[in-house]
Amino acid sequence: MTTPTPLHWLEEPRRQGVTWGVPWPRGAVGSHETFAMADGTPVQSWVTATWPDGSVKWSAHAIGPQAVPAGSYDLLAGGEPAAPERPVTVTRQSGLVRVATGEREWTVAETGGTLISSIRLGGRELARDVRLVSLRQDSPDEDGSRVRRQAKGLVQRVVVEQEGPVRAVLRLEGRHGDWLPFTVRLYFYAGACDVRVVHTFVWDGDPERDFLAGLGLRADVVMRDELHDRHVRLAGESGFLTEAVRGLTGLRRDPGPAVRQAQVEGRACGPIGNPEVADRLHLIPAWNDYTLDQSSADGFTLRKRTAPGHAWVTIPSGTRAQGYGYVGGVSGGLGFGLRDFWRLHPTRIDVRDAATELATATVWLWSPSAPPMDLRFYHDGMGQDTFAEQLEGLEITYEDYEPGFGDARGVARTHELTLTAYEATPRAEELAEHATALNSPGLLAASPERILRAGVFGDWSLPDRSNAARAEIEQRLDLLFEHYAREREQRRWYGFWDYGDVMHTYDADRHTWRYDVGGYAWDNSELSPDLWLWYQYLRTGRADVFRFAESMTRHTGEVDVYHLGRWKGLGTRHNVQHWGCSCKQLRISNAAYRRFYFYLTADERTGDLLDELAAPEETFVAIDPLRKVRDDVYTPDPSALSVGLGADWGALAAAWLTRWERHGDERARDRLLGTMADIGALPHGFLHGQAMLDLATGRFDTSRQAPVTLSHLSAVFGLPEMCAELIALDLGVPGFERAWLDYCRLYLAPADVQEAELGQALSGVSLVQAHSRLTAYAAARTGDAELAAWAWRRFRLDEGDQLNTNALQRQDDWSATLVDGPGVPAPVLEAPFVSTNDAAQYGLAAIQNLALIGGHL
């Protein structure tokens, strides 16, 4: 049995089922080891990655909701897990899958128009026909007319991925009518009153004639109680709209304080003793329908009506709704909610027919009140019909345009929802607790110290402020993150397609980011902000950093990547629209950006994204990323595919390594080890810039050696991080470490050193501060103190750099300036010297330099 691993809550303890991941040092835990919680809490465990020797690298664990969750837990490798008192069970019979989590039973039909056909509590049905609904138009509604067609999501297949005893997972696959493929996962925990719903859809419409006007999750709720014992609750900014279908408060005649208090608290009103009220109940309006509409990050509206055909009555509104609601009565009902409701606007919650025997609740992921979703390209091409014209456009707006390439077909979006089966109308405090858990789901985590001891994710260290130089760098790392957190809020980087991304470059003249200037707008993972944020979380354990990185992983893995069609498996370079650039590359769909979230949370959807890259090398057949700038004749040939040894191979290596450690995939292992050996066999390794890959063998042709060339982008999309991991694995690949160390030593070496070793000085050296971490790596591996000093000099002074002017480093205090007045729409604190390229690479260089050569600072 290993030493217990302490676990803490990322935020506050949550009374909900929770799943998390834990890393283990190489050789410490065998592949068949069992796990237990030291306090006897029932736990379900599984392995998510192994080391090359077969020992456990990452394990995943789940516990059910606890009535009084502990403030911390100890996980034991080698213990015998306790069994839950009432385990979650999954049974399949006659085309139905039934999941029981205690007194609650959830029935799922294996095919058809529902996700959950019935929700029962103690044998009594509370809700039925949980389904997906969508609205579609064939025009963007610009002429004032519209014809909307409604469709229901059709489930085509149900897969049971886990079946207890603590956690069960069902994966449902289908389509929204005749378009929009979807995957829905349903998560159940032993003893839980709720089911977590993770919905992903892939856009496959024609942007010229398909306009999504509404997308939602809908359920019918059985209403058994008297109208005045039926309740609607809708979350506002901090509390809830508290309504009864037939209100007994505020009347001209008083039903009595006990009745009024009972109704407001959601309890049965009982007999109404005042006959002046009891005899006139039929004259009190019954409020049948309710709507909460979140049209932006800054405002929601509330309204209700008595029935269709009658006017809506407005209710006091607010800014940011929490996205949670309830409809039912004193004999039970259904809670429903959407995580990040206001951040993913336009969203909406509807309650309909609350005064009938069957109410309907709908959580809209895209509100029907909003203009229909318009995914057409944002300009007409401006005559850029040839590569030469497109390269001219690149020179002025930094946009790599090409006709037909700004296509959203194949991009995706994932939403997280919850459905809760209540035995009675819940108290306000209980609703508030569930709304909080919806938006900040519980997560248990090992400490940064414990994760570091496991030896995962390459080179990083814990924050150290033991001297002034270290403290200054740590302070700047904190300031950089806090700057982006502030920018997301004050620039409102929110919305259905945008939330989770950040902008690329600032426009100091307009006091805004260059949201409308070609390739300077949305960042789309350019120069690896994803990696920077995840490493900053690993070393600090900060919840706010985790949540920022989480939202970025959700966005960049879904919206910036194609999941079907001709570019499946590739991502899109930065642009005004996330899918707008013609540069479709593996460096954006990079598995290196997703691995952190998957291993820390065991999130199955992120696992899907990694599985989409099972054979990443095949994407090079689809498109030549260098087609516009080649001076040779080249057409993608499966037997001789041009692959860059920098950003391209780094992304291939990340996908292959992840596939190997997750699934034991020998094909991925062989291609990883084979191409590592091939790079090692090249006379100048990575400095050859590219090699020809044979798709059938998965090997590079080392007989066809490209000349020594250099790209400043080769090592800023995860290549250093992946090489560090691979070398640390000690895979026995001859020449590979030497090839990487040569690249690290020579990139920033003086010209005479380069010429002596390569026969030429390197041209194109740029992003000097970013590449200081390569010099640091070589210094750390060789023990060269002079090289370490050189690395710190290049990090701090950034000499001779043309692209990364390193304004960050020249600022004395990195302070933001208030801009106010008639020249800006709203007051902003701006730091015009910050761009995302600089920020991400400063962060990565600082973190890795401190870990590798901190003693030489």
Task: Calculate mean pLDDT across residues 475-483.
Answer: 96
Is the preceding omega at residue 23 within 30 degrees of 0, hence cis? no
199 or 797, which is more confident? 199
Residue 236 has pLDDT above 60, yes or no: yes
Q: What is the DSSP string of 305-356?
A: ESSTTS--EEEEEES----EEEEEETTEEEEEEETTTTTT-SEEEEEE-TTS
How many domains is the chain partitioned into structurally?
A: 5
Helix (H, G, I), strand (E, B) or coil at 293: strand
Residue 632 has pLDDT above 90, yes or no: no
Last residue of a domain, one of 715, 736, 757: 736
Residue 41 has pLDDT above 90, yes or no: yes
Question: In this structure, what are the phi and psi dihedrals at residue 568, rounded to the nearest 5 degrees?
Answer: -55, 130
Q: Is residue 70 domain-shared with residue 99, that is, in the same domain?
A: no
**Rounded distance between C-alpha atoms, residue 181 and residue 173, angstroms:** 8
Q: What is the pLDDT of residue 799?
A: 66
Q: Is residue 625 domain-shared with residue 585, that is, in the same domain?
A: no
Q: Is residue 490 domain-shared with residue 532, that is, in the same domain?
A: yes
| Token code pair at residue 472 | 């200054």
Task: Calculate mean pLDDT across residues 189-209.
Answer: 97
Span 399-454, pLDDT tens digits: 999 999 999 999 999 999 999 999 999 999 999 999 999 999 999 999 999 999 99
Last residue of a domain, one of 704, 721, 736: 736
Q: Name residue 44's amino acid.
A: Q
Q: Is residue 622 domain-shared with residue 675, that is, in the same domain?
A: yes
CA proximity to 8, closest of 465, 450, 509? 450
Q: Is residue 675 domain-shared with residue 649, that is, in the same domain?
A: yes
User: Is the distance from CB of 597 to CB of 553 less than 8 angstroms?
Assistant: yes
Q: Is residue 569 domain-shared with residue 644, that is, in the same domain?
A: no
Residue 811 has pLDDT above 90, yes or no: no
Q: Is residue 648 domain-shared with residue 731, that is, in the same domain?
A: yes
Q: Is residue 564 domain-shared with residue 507, that is, in the same domain?
A: yes
pTM of the complete model beyond 0.95: yes
Task: Calculate mean pLDDT across residues 135-158.
Answer: 88
Q: What is the pLDDT of residue 626?
A: 86
**Rounded distance between C-alpha atoms, residue 648 and residue 586, angstroms:** 6
Residue 798 is assigned to a structural domain of this protein = no
Q: What is the pLDDT of residue 812?
A: 60
**Rounded distance between C-alpha atoms, residue 136 and residue 150, angstroms:** 7
Residue 802 has pLDDT above 50, yes or no: no
Residue 217 is assigned to a structural domain of this protein = no
Residue 803 has pLDDT above 50, yes or no: no
User: Is the distance from CB of 292 to CB of 312 less than 8 angstroms?
Assistant: no
- Parent domain of 266: 250-284
Residue 785 is assigned to a structural domain of this protein = no
Poorest-pLDDT segment among 124-133, 294-303, 670-679, 800-809: 800-809
Span 83-115, pLDDT tens digits: 999 999 999 999 999 999 999 999 999 999 999
Q: What is the pLDDT of residue 144?
A: 66
Pairing of strands 299-305, 313-318: antiparallel
Residue 238 has pLDDT above 70, yes or no: yes
Taking the C-alpha atoms of 469, 470, 473 and 477 in order, what is their torsion angle to the nearest 10 degrees?
-160
Span 699-725, pLDDT tens digits: 999 999 999 999 999 999 999 999 999
Written in H, E and C, the secondary structure of 479-532 is HHHHHHHHHHHHCCCCCCCCCCCCECCEECCCCEECCCCHHHCECCCCCCHHHH
Residue 804 has pLDDT above 60, yes or no: no
Arithmetic mean of pLDDT over the chain: 96
Geometric angle at alpha carbon 165, from 161 and 168, rounded to 5° = 30
Q: Is residue 96 domain-shared with residue 202, that is, in the same domain?
A: yes
Residue 193 has pLDDT above 60, yes or no: yes
Residue 118 is assigned to a structural domain of this protein = yes
Q: Is residue 635 domain-shared with residue 570, that is, in the same domain?
A: no
Span 529-579, pLDDT tens digits: 999 999 999 999 999 999 999 999 999 999 999 999 999 999 999 999 999
What are the angstrom distances between the C-alpha of 224 and each of 228, 249, 330, 354? 11, 21, 9, 11
Of all residues in the chain, the percent with pLDDT exceeding 90 is: 94
Residue 607 is assigned to a structural domain of this protein = yes
Q: What is the pLDDT of residue 631?
A: 82
